[in-house]
Amino acid sequence: MDHFSEIIVSTVEKTKSAVVKIDVFKKKDGKIQPAGSGSGFIFSSDGYIFTNSHVVKGADKISVFLEDNTQTEGFIIGTDPDTDIAVIKIYTSGYSVANLGDSSKLKIGQLVVAIGNPYGFQHTVTSGVVSALGRTLKTDSGRLVDDVIQSDAALNPGNSGGPMVNSDAQVIGVNTAIIQGAQGLSFAVSINTAKEIAGHLIKDGKVSKAYLGVVLQEITLNQRIINFYGLANSKGLFVVSMENGSPAQQSQLLGGDVIVGFEDSVVNSTSELYRLLGKDQINKKSKLSVIRNTRKLDIDVVPQLLAA
């Protein structure tokens, strides 16, 4: 077997037993009926599972199938439509736990493997490379999901909620979407974002985060800009666009600006900015540090709570 195949086989072997199939049922005319399926993966020894919010939305009953096809009931702990992350829990034994990695260490071109249940075919494996990092993805519902990993690993309906894994068998993303009609584009919410969301959902059942309403892309900063302004950054967040009526649009932020700081903190990635936008920042005037052309500016913005 060639080295490339050995890496993928080893990665799958170390991860697949933590991957689950999720069947969703909803009431219609007083009867429980099948309403779709997706994927998920167990990330804690006490039975917590990551999946997508859209997979379990409106579910009246959830069935979870382990690798050996053992079926058990799943219970929703909380969902966050703004990141398309949900946490459900099972009360059983005989499962493995996925090894969670650090998505901030990802590099463009890095090998990734996706495991899921497209069209009900359990534990289907595809592979590809990281195509881009730090994307902001607009979902079909119109919501902006930050800190998205773009890859060319093939995904299909039913893959949603499954793990994206690196060559060290560490989960670095939660597969979340494909663009219908596009070729070779798939997306995953970074595991760093998912881990933070899980903390909120397990503790409070919901997420209260400040919202700016801006589409971002991570870029590498020019070394001359870094040296001239004495920046601690290596990267910044390029403002692609802003939502109509959003806090960002109501500020003096412009498309083409590059965000390098929030309040007194350096911002290198969308996940760093997302962490800084805690509930304490809601309705509070805050400072964005940006590079505009060759000038460094501080812009006031008032983040808001995004309604569910």
* Mean pLDDT of the region 255-280: 88
Query: Is there a single domain that holds both residue 174 and residue 229?
Result: no
Q: Does residue 78 belong to any structural domain of this protein?
A: yes
Query: Is there a single domain that holds both residue 119 and residue 63?
Result: no
Alpha helices in 48-157 (DSSP H): 53-56
Query: Is there a single domain that holds both residue 134 and residue 112?
Result: yes
Q: Does residue 96 belong to any structural domain of this protein?
A: no
DSSP letters for 221-279: PPHHHHHHHT-S-SEEEEEEEE-TT-HHHHTT--TT-EEEEETTEE--SHHHHHHH--G
pLDDT 10s digits, 137-164: 776 556 677 788 999 988 877 788 999 9
Q: Does residue 95 belong to any structural domain of this protein?
A: no
Q: Does residue 44 belong to any structural domain of this protein?
A: yes
Query: Is there a single domain that holds both residue 55 and residue 114?
Result: no
Query: Is there a single domain that holds both residue 253 and residue 193?
Result: no
pLDDT bucket at 232, cuts 50 / 70 / 90: very high
Query: Is there a single domain that holds both residue 118 and residue 169?
Result: yes
Higher pLDDT, 156 or 79: 79
Of the residues 37, 39, 53, 54, which is catalytic? 54
Query: Is there a single domain that holds both residue 110 and residue 191?
Result: yes
Q: Does residue 97 belong to any structural domain of this protein?
A: no
Determine which of 75-79, 183-187, 242-246 has the lowest per-residue pLDDT on average.
183-187
* Vertex 194 angle, CA 307 and 244, to 5°: 35
Domain boundary among 167, 183, 204: 204
What is the number of residues in the chain? 308
Q: Does residue 98 belong to any structural domain of this protein?
A: no
Of the residues 23, 82, 84, 146, which is catalytic? 84
Is residue 269's pLDDT more than 70? yes
pLDDT 10s digits, 11-20: 989 999 999 9
Query: Is there a single domain that holds both residue 157 and residue 240?
Result: no
**Alpha carbon distances (Å) from 260 to 31, 84, 189:** 53, 26, 22
For position 101, what pLDDT does the model report?
Answer: 95
Domain boundary among 67, 90, 113: 90
CATH number at residue 221: 2.30.42.10
Query: What are the residues whose beta carbons fall under 8 Å from the beta carbon of 192, sequence distance 6 or more?
Result: 102, 103, 104, 147, 271
87, two tokens: 């946490």
Query: Is there a single domain that holds both residue 243 and residue 269?
Result: yes
Distance (Å, rounded) from C-alpha 270 to C-alpha 139? 17
> What does the radius of gyration of the chain's CA atoms come to, in whole angstroms?
20
Domain boundary among 185, 204, 223: 204
pLDDT 10s digits, 106-131: 999 999 999 988 666 667 888 999 99
Distance (Å, rounded) from C-alpha 272 to C-alpha 295? 23
pLDDT bucket at 88, cuts 50 / 70 / 90: very high
- The domain tally of the chain equals 3
Of the residues 17, 160, 271, 286, which is catalytic? 160
Query: Is there a single domain that holds both residue 173 and residue 81?
Result: no
Say how many C-beta atoms besides its own lie within 10 A of residue 115's C-beta: 26
Active site residue 68: no
Query: Is there a single domain that holds both residue 200 and residue 214?
Result: no
Active site residue 102: no
For position 68, what pLDDT does the model report?
Answer: 87
Owning domain of residue 58:
3-90
- The upper half-sphere exposure of residue 287, i.e. CA atoms within 13 Å in the direction of its Cβ, equals 9
**Strands 124-138 and 144-151, how do they pair?**
antiparallel
Active site residue 151: no
Average pLDDT, the chain: 88
Amino acid at 48: Y
Q: Does residue 189 belong to any structural domain of this protein?
A: yes
191, two tokens: 């595991």
Q: Does residue 226 belong to any structural domain of this protein?
A: yes
Query: Is there a single domain that holds both residue 134 and residue 168?
Result: yes
State the SS3 of 47-64: CEEEECHHHHCCCCEEEE
pLDDT 10s digits, 37-64: 999 999 999 999 999 998 999 999 999 9
CATH number at residue 135: 2.40.10.10
